[in-house]
Structure 1
Amino acid sequence: MSYLKDFPNPEGYFGEFGGAFLPPELEPHFAEINHAYRTLARSGDFLNELRYIRKHYQGRPTPVYYAHNLSRSVGAHIYLKREDLNHSGAHKLNHCMGEALLAKHMGKRKLIAETGAGQHGVALATAAAYFGMECEIHMGEIDIAKEAPNVTRMKLMGAQVVPVSFGGRSLKEAVDSAFQSYLSQADEALFAIGSVVGPHPFPLMVRNFQSVVGIEAREQYLEMSGGELPDHVVACIGGGSNAMGMFAGFIEDAQVQLNGVEPLGRGTKLGEHSATMTYGKPGMIHGFKCMLLADAEGNPAPVHSIASGLDYPGVGPEHSYLKTTERVAYHAINDDAALDAFYQLSRTEGIIPALESAHAVAWAMKHGRENPGTTILANLSGRGDKDIDYVAREFGHG
C-alpha cells in the first residue's frame, strides 16, 4: 500500500473530505482537467519537460540549510528547506509551472487564478510569461495594499490584476471572484487553483506537483545527517500546498512527526484568527468539503492573519483527513510570535522569511526551546521581500 497512490480515491475524497461540488456548467470542464492530468502525469514527454523547467528555469533543487546561529540560540537543531530560493521567491512556482504546462497540452490560451499574499499570482504570471499565455489574477483590495511589491511584479510580467472589493476584500473573496470570471471563459482558460484546495482534481494535482519539495528535502537531509531522518518536519498551513508538498516526502516515515502550523492571529474569537484546524468543523467551501471556520448560519466566517497567504477560512481536504488520522499534528501560532520569528531569522541568519513561513519558524523555535537537542526540518516556503514594506511601516524594524 502506498499512501500517495491510494489517496485521494477516484472521486477525489480523502476519507470524508474533498470531492467536487460544481455548478453543472463547470462539471465537463473539471472532468476534462481530470482526464488530461491523469493522462499526462504518466507521459514521459510531459514529465521530461517539467523536469527540464524545474532544473533549468526554476533552479531546482533548492538547498536544505542548517541554521547554525538560530539553532545555537534556541538549543535545538533547525534545518530549513530553502523554497525562498525557488525562482519567483516561493514554492508556488512548483505547481504553477505544472498547471501551465497542463494548460498548454490542453490547448488553453489563458490562466486565471486568485492570490492572497501575491506569491501564487507572481508564480502564475511567471508561468504565463514562460508559456506565452494571458494571465488574469484576482486579489482582494486589502491584500493589494499589503503586498504592493507583488502586485507590481505581476503587472510587469503582463498579468491583469483584478481588485476584489466585496466582502472581506481578502483571499476568500478573491477565490469567489476568480471562479465567477472562469465560468464565462472555461472553454479557453484554465483556473489554476493556488493551493491544495478546491474541487477534485486540484488537491491531488497541486500536492503531486509540490511533492518535489519533500522528495528533495528527504534525500538532502539524509545526506547531511549521515542517514538519519529528522525528529520533526514542519510547515505553515493556509490552504496547505507547501505543507503537503513537504509532508509528501515523509508521509510514510512513521518515526518522523509531521507538524502543520496555522495562524492564531490576534486572538481566539471568530474573526481574529484563521486557525481552521484548531477551531473549525467539517463544512463546504468553494466546491469541496473540508474543516471550515463558519459563522452561526454555517457560512464561511471572516478570518485574520498577519500573513495574507494564510487568511482563508477553509483548508485542504487532505489536511482535514490527516488531522482525523492524527498522522499530522496541527498547531497555532499568533501574529506576535510569527513577527518575532520574522525578525529573529532575519538577524541571526540573514534570511528574511515570508510572514507565512515565519509561522513555521516560530513553531520550530518554540518547540526547540522546549525540547533541547531535537532535530527540526522546517519548510521555508517563501522569502519576505513582499512583506518588508508592510512590516517596516506597521511594526518598525524590530
Structure 2
Amino acid sequence: MLRRLWKTRAIRAKISFAHMLSSSHHAMYDVLVKHSYMMVFEPSTHKTEINGGDMSGQITMKSECSCIELEQRKQSQSVALFDAIPAVLSPENGCRRPRARWRFSMILLAMFLLMEAMLAGCAMPRSFKRRVQGNRQSAASKSVNVSTTGSAYSPLIPGAPAGSNTLDIFPCKQSSGSPCPTLVYVHGGSLMRGDKRSVGSMPDLMNRNGFCLVSLNYPVYGRPVNGLIEQQMSALSSATAWLEANLSKIRPSCTMKGAAMIGHSAGAYLAALTATSPRYRATADSYQKLILNDSNWYTGKVRRYKNSLATIFGQSAMSGSGKNSLLAEWVPAELVRTSCPKKSSPTDVMIMYSTQRPEKQQAEIRSFASALNDCRAFNAYLSAHSYDHKGMHKSIGEPESSTGAAILAALKR
C-alpha cells in the first residue's frame, strides 16, 4: 500500500467527513508530498506554503462536515526538500525533524489510519454516502409492486410475483345496442416493473367514448431473469386468447371484434414485437389497430444501450453473434424486414412519440414507421407531441390532451 502511494506522482483526493471534535476546535494540517519516498505533516493554525522537490500540497480539516484535499502542484526545483522542512517543523510547534525515511513512512501510515478511523466512526453527509455507496437504484434493482385483483388469464408462472397473470376490465357504459370494441393496454416500466393499475384517466376517456378498456399485468421481477422477454410475450398471448374466449361472457357490453392494443414505453416495445414477430402472429391477428406510445426500442440502434441489453438479455447479447441474434429475434424493425406477414388488409399502427426526445431517437422512430410501411401488412403513421416521456402517458384523458385526442382519432378511423 505504502509503496503504491509513494510511487504515485499525482495525488488528488477530496474526502468529506465529520470531524469527531467539538465545533469550536479547528485544525489545519499542512502536508508536504514528495513522490517516491515521503510525506510530512504537522498541526498548525495557519496556512503554510511549502516548496520541496517537485510538488507540494495541503490538507484542511474543519469541525462538522468539511473537506480534506490533497492537491499537488509543480514547484520550483530551486528549493531543496530538506531545506524546506525546517521552516514547517519548527521548535515552537513542538516538532522535530525526522532523521530517517522510515519515520516519514510511519507518519504517513498513522495519518491514513487516523483518516480511516474517523471516516468509519462519523455520520457522513447524505451526498457523500451516495457517492461512496452508490445508493441510487437502477430499474433492475427496484422492488416490484404488483396488484393481485382482477381476473386471472393464465396460471401463474413459477417464481413470478403474485398477480402477474391478472387483468382488469373497465366496461363501457353502453347498456343496449352493439357491444363496445376493446382497447388492451400494456403498461411500461423498463420491462422490470410497472403494473396494470397505471391507467390514469384512460378508463373514463375510453368508456365515455364507447370503448372498453382492459389493462393487463405481465411478469416483472425488478431484476433480469432467464427468458424474461419470452415470459412477457407469452403473457400477452395468453391474455389475448383468454379475452377472445371470455370477455363477452363476463362483460357482455365488451367485444374483441375490432380490438386494438396500446402500449407505453416498454409496453409499446412489447406491442411492436406482437405485431412483427412470426412467433406471435396469431396474437397479432386479434388486433385491427396498434398504438405504440413513446418507445425507441424499435430499431437496431438499440444496441447502443449496452447496459440495458446486458441486463435484459444477458451478457451474451454483447458478443458479435449475440448481437446478431438479438437483432434477428427481438428488434421489431429487423423482424418486419425479414418476415413481413401476409394479410388481406393492413393493420393500422400509430406511432406516438415525444418531441423532447433527441433528434437521433426521433429519426429512429421515423425509420421504424418507414420499415412498417415497406411491408404492405401495415399502415403506419406518426403522431408527435410536446409532452415528456411520462407525460405521454399521464396526459391521456386530461382536458385538452393532444395524446387522448390522437388515440381516440386512431381508434375511430
TM-score w.r.t. length of structure 2:
0.30
**Structure with higher RCO (Cα < 8 A, 6+ apart):** 1
* Greater helix content: 1
* TM-score (norm: length of structure 1): 0.31
Larger radius of gyration: 2
